[in-house]
């Protein structure tokens, strides 16, 4: 007999059973899932799936929702609370310091994060559209604090006390903060600018 966390409701348990039985769900709609489970409103299914993402049973990516485990049992230390430090700009302007924002916390699991050292991790919520389609306005972005990064990494950088999500481009001996959205220009990092890489983007949770 399977053991589910006590905090799962009947719909959440039904969704886990449904996705276990139907392993390939890339093209199924919320309405079809709702109909199969006898639920009247597809929005209910969306809400419950997003709750299961936060509980660590599902992950969500570009192809949809994927079941990653059926049970967490009673291992409560597998669930941690990570802080959300306000907004990070996906543009070239923003508020001056993260501490101006109210700090929230979000419950996550080790399986959901996929990183070894969670003590060095925190979330920011993306604001703006310069990093679209990779990072969209409202997405939760997991940051692992570290000064080192690869050229392909998306980084969380403090630029003149403004928190930003960017790529860092080195060209002709100069540094630029680069956006993904081609309609946004690169921003050159002046030698007098205060610039510090806080960490590297490790996971993006789509806006819920």
Q: What is the pLDDT of residue 11?
A: 93
Phi/psi of residue 85, nearest 5 degrees: -95, 75
Residue 48 lies in domain: 10-67
Q: How confident is the model at residue 165 (pLDDT cuts 50, 70, 90)?
A: very high
What average pLDDT does the segment 69-83 reach? 58
Give the pLDDT confidence of 15-25 residue by residue, as tens digits: 988 988 876 66
Task: Give the three-class secondary structure for 152.
Answer: coil
- The total of other beta-carbon atoms located within 10 Å of residue 192's CB is 6
According to DSSP, the β-strands at 174-178 and 162-171 are antiparallel
Residues 59 and 93 in one domain: no
Token digits of residue 206? 């789509």
Q: What is the pLDDT of residue 4?
A: 45
Residues 63 and 90 in one domain: no
Classify the phi-psi angles of 73: left when phi > 0, otherwise alpha if psi is within -120 to 50, otherwise beta: left
Residues 95 and 36 in one domain: no
Please count the structural domains in the chain: 2
- How far is Cα 92 from Cα 106, in angstroms, rounded to an integer? 27
The CATH number for 136's domain is 2.10.109.10
- How far is Cα 124 from Cα 75, in angstroms, rounded to an integer? 27
pTM of the entire predicted model: 0.58
Q: What is the pLDDT of residue 22?
A: 79
Length of the chain: 208
């Amino acid at each position: 007999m399977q053991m589910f966390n006590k905090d799962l409701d009947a719909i959440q348990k039904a969704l886990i059973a449904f996705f276990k039985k139907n392993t390939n769900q890339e093209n199924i709609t919320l309405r079809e899932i709702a109909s199969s489970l006898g639920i009247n409103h597809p929005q209910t299914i969306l809400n419950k799936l997003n709750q299961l993402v936060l509980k660590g049973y599902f992950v969500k990516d570009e192809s949809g929702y994927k079941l990653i485990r059926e049970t967490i049992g009673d291992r409560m230390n597998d669930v941690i609370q990570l802080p959300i430090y306000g907004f990070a700009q996906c543009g070239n302007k923003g508020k001056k310091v993260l501490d101006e924002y109210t700090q929230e916390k979000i419950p996550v699991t080790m399986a959901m994060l996929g990183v070894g050292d969670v003590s060095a991790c925190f979330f920011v919520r993306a604001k703006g559209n310069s990093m679209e389609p990779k990072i969209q306005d409202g997405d939760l972005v997991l940051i692992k604090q570290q000064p080192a990064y690869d050229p392909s990494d998306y980084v969380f950088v403090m630029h003149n006390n403004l928190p930003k999500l960017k790529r860092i481009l080195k060209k002709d001996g100069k540094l630029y903060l680069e956006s993904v959205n081609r309609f946004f220009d690169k921003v050159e990092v002046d030698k007098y600018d205060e610039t510090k890489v806080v960490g590297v983007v490790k996971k993006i949770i789509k806006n819920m």
